[in-house]
Amino acid sequence: MKGPILPSAAELHSLLKRLYPITRSLTGDGVRETLRVVQEVADLEIQEYPSGAQVYDWQIPREWNIRDAHISTLDGQRVVDFRRNGLHVVGYSVPVCEEMAFADLEPHLHTLPNLPDAIPYRTSYYRENWGFCLTQKQLEAMDRNARYHVVIDSTLEDGVLNFGEKLLRGTSGREFFLSTYCCHPWMANDNQSGVVLTAFLNRYLSQKEELHHSYRIVWVPETIGAISYLAHNELAMKNLEGGFVLSCCGGPGPLAYKETFLGDHLIDRAVKLAFRDAGIEPWLRPFAPDGSDERQYSMPAFRIPMCTIAKDKYYDYAYYHTSLDDPDFVTGENLLSTLKMYIDAIEILERNRVFKTTMPYCEPQLGKRGLYPQIGGAHNQFGNVKKCAMSIEAEVDALTWMMFLADGTMDMVDIAERSAQPYSNLCVAAVKLVENGLLEEIQEVNAR
Ligand code: ZN
């Protein structure tokens, strides 16, 4: 039987490169095109909410589309050209077509003097404005005494806010959440990396023969998309047990982990076990109500514990929100290593069960059931421990810990923490013990 297939690093990077140069914003053709490209990997549904709808304290903005934008000299030379890089225009800029003096144009220009080769990423979603972003070098090359022709060929009209959604059904009655944001244009780590990883996580989970838990997976425009989704799915969202915000997961920095607002929720513990068993010390980022959509999902009415596994998390890298965050900054290998960590954490949740021993009075005799090495005495003896993935010694350790701790009050995550045994070894042991009638699975307790 075929299990889920991990993508290659090249496959991850190639999707990232396709998505990168699409002109995206909160709304508009770019979001729809992005979601259609993601559909080639993930069978998400493209959904929409209408402009103008009230969602809690917010209103869904009008749909923004842009065809072209430039600052040109009066003899027609484009000194700033939106067609070369989508970051050149402030997101949601209103249309402009004017000739103006540099002095009048200057307040609308944004640069990063400390990163003179970078175009910054700027938006003005909720206040009508317009502007251009350019490198400091481009700005310095402009003639301050000249007049310029300034064009932004954009439209702001009633339309829709689009998002992608997929619901995968499991058997446990417990639902987890994966959310990423699909509004950022022309930047790779923030956040085409999250869009790509969510797509392949969707594919991975869909390919599993059986899902224990249910998963709600969304690609939403940041903030307003998350708020709109919460407002339209209030009851279902209140029942979510926890989840992940996939953001900034492909940079060259160390694997980082931003805790949920609780810090010790089952989600946190699953992630910490995944890191522990991989032998990687995560760069721990405590929860703060900033960053991405966890700050919406974890607000008092919902309190969904959301965490993030990242490589070069927002705020942690110098290229954040600039044109230098490009497909050279994000590699397929980095994407793959973060994807694997997400999968390991989710697999821990998937395999988390509560078992109870059928022999609580003394340890059962493993040897007569073929579960113990036939020659006694060598187990865990100094000099005799073979360090392979699942040596007989490791297996006996896992079996012994399972028999000792599985008293019906602890789940597999508890047992893995208490025993310091690799989670997957404990799962193998649990299966063997159940097969031999030494353990029984009991109804797990909903953590929320
Ligand atoms: Zn961002």
Hey, what are 356's tokens? 């109870």
- Distance (Å) from CA 180 to ligand 1 centroid: 11
pLDDT number for residue 138: 98
Backbone φ and ψ for 342, nearest 5 degrees, come out as: -60, -45
- Distance (Å) from CA 292 to ligand 1 centroid: 8
d(CA 140, CA 106): 12
- Distance (Å) from CA 181 to ligand 1 centroid: 9
| Candidates 1.10.3660.10, 1.10.10.10, 1.10.1270.20, 1.10.10.1100; CATH matching 354-442 | 1.10.10.10
Q: Quick check: 383 pLDDT over 70?
A: no
Q: Quick check: 334 pLDDT over 50?
A: yes
Give tens-digit pLDDT for 101-118.
Answer: 999 999 999 999 999 999
Closest to 66 (Cα-Cα) out of 157, 127, 187: 157
- Distance (Å) from CA 41 to ligand 1 centroid: 23
- Distance (Å) from CA 185 to ligand 1 centroid: 10
Q: Report the CATH fold assignment for 9-61+160-351.
A: Aminopeptidase (3.40.630)
Q: Quick check: 389 pLDDT over 90?
A: no
Bridge partners of residue 81, in order along the sequence:
70
- Distance (Å) from CA 118 to ligand 1 centroid: 15
- Distance (Å) from CA 184 to ligand 1 centroid: 7
Q: Is 370 exposed, middle or buried (0-12, 13-18, 19+ CB in 10 A)?
A: exposed
Q: Report the CATH fold assignment for 63-157.
A: Glucose Oxidase; domain 1 (3.50.30)
- Distance (Å) from CA 439 to ligand 1 centroid: 48
Dihedral (Cα; 317, 323, 326, 328), 10-degree rounding: -80
pLDDT number for residue 38: 98
- Distance (Å) from CA 339 to ligand 1 centroid: 20
Give tens-digit pLDDT for 264-276.
Answer: 999 999 999 999 9
- Distance (Å) from CA 104 to ligand 1 centroid: 29
Query: Residue 437 in 3-state DSSP?
Result: coil
- Distance (Å) from CA 191 to ligand 1 centroid: 7
Closest to 185 (Cα-Cα) out of 39, 66, 47: 66
pLDDT number for residue 411: 97
pTM: 0.94
Domain with CATH 3.50.30.90 in the chain: 63-157
pLDDT number for residue 386: 45
Give tens-digit pLDDT for 70-105.
Answer: 999 999 999 999 999 999 999 999 999 999 999 999
Domain with CATH 1.10.10.10 in the chain: 354-442
**Who wins on pLDDT, 369 or 229?**
229
Q: Quick check: 17 pLDDT over 80?
A: yes
Domain with CATH 3.40.630.10 in the chain: 9-61+160-351
Q: Which residues lie closer than 8 Å to 67 by C-beta, 6 or more apart?
A: 153, 154
Give residues whose Cβ lies within 5 Å of ion ligand 1.
190
- Distance (Å) from CA 247 to ligand 1 centroid: 9
Q: Quick check: 3 pLDDT over 50?
A: yes
